[in-house]
A and B are shown apart, each in its own frame.
Chain A
Amino acid sequence: MAEESKAVEEVVDPLEFAPEKDVLSQFDGEWQDTTAAIKKWDDKVAKLTEIAKACENVKIKSGNVEAFAAFLKKEVSNTNVNISMAAITASASVAKGMKKDFNVGAKVLMGPVLLKYKEKRPMILEEIGKFCDAAINCANLEDLAPEFIPMITNIAPGVKNGTIKWLEKAAQVTFIDVLQRIMGELMPAMSKAIEDKDGTVRDSALHCMGILKGRYGEAVMDKYLKNINP
């Protein structure tokens, strides 16, 4: 049993031995300005798809990601769903290839990407999921807390539900000291989500609370759970 769990934890990253590529210099400021100025949505989508293609099966060379993340954030927030989806896909590809080097980028993009959970199209929800999974490897929950905690209490049920489900996943692979540091901000939002009027949100929140109880321990969680209706 112990050997089995050890084997699960020590998963070899396939990109560890992949060739390193300088993707950021390929999509420099000039390229970003040209792409941002494109009016036709399909042309813009084609341009954004280039990023995802360039990041396929490569380890991305570290560099200053702030400007690049700001460009992607603008495109993620685009009202056109296709452009937004292409930008999320590109963001996920960069996050996957850069990992810890995309820490700043993950912080910049986390909020706008989670907000897209309000969309109902399964294709975009899948892309959001891919970005969120990749973001866990870029930044820890403490770094991302200012971005995702407000989403737990967002108006849109989809945003709340998507964020809680991602939090549940992330909480299981986060070191306990990091979880303890965000507890003060996280638990009031989660307590509110448990009493949400939307049944899906409530169920997700209850399950997530259980996961958090398993991580924090019963004694710590008691003060947050004592007011919950059985």
Chain B
Amino acid sequence: MSKIDEAAGEIKPSKYDRPENYKPPAPKPAKKAAVINDDEDALMNFENKPKRAPPKIGQRPVKKKEAAEDMVIDSGPPKKPAAKPPALSSARPKTAISSTKGPSVPII
């Protein structure tokens, strides 16, 4: 029995301890380590790209384009000018008669 144990001790771990068709598991994709930038004066690189563009100091903001005035909207044949509403007595221009005094002489 001691001979068997002695011989058993001769066996060292090897690739044959795995099954014949053993495939090692695919390595997980390593997470990107956060870049710690201690040097504040260092130039910015693309890895630390800011979300917003830096403010443009000393430049006037670009005006937004206004809608073109000359643009003619093509909407069929030209329409006739709308008919004037009937003239109302209230809309008639008042005469230069003083409103405080009533008519002294009937107008013929």
Interface residues of A (CB under 8 A from B): 5, 9, 140, 172-178, 203, 206-211, 213-215, 218, 225, 228, 230
Contacts and interface: CB of A to CB of B under 8 A. Distances in A.
A11 to B, nearest CB: 12
Interface stretch (B16-24, B27-35, B46-54, B55-63): B16-24
A176 B17 contact: yes
Interface residues of B, number: 20
A229 to B, nearest CB: 8
Nearest to A10: B15
Contacts of A140: 20
Contacts of B15: 9
B8 interface: yes
B104 to A, nearest CB: 131
Nearest to A206: B3
B41 interface: no
Given A9-B14, A228-B1, A230-B1, A178 B8 contact: no
B108 to A, nearest CB: 133
A208 B10 CA distance: 11
A213 B8 contact: yes
B42 interface: no
A140 B11 CA distance: 19
B2 to A, nearest CB: 8
A106 to B, nearest CB: 17
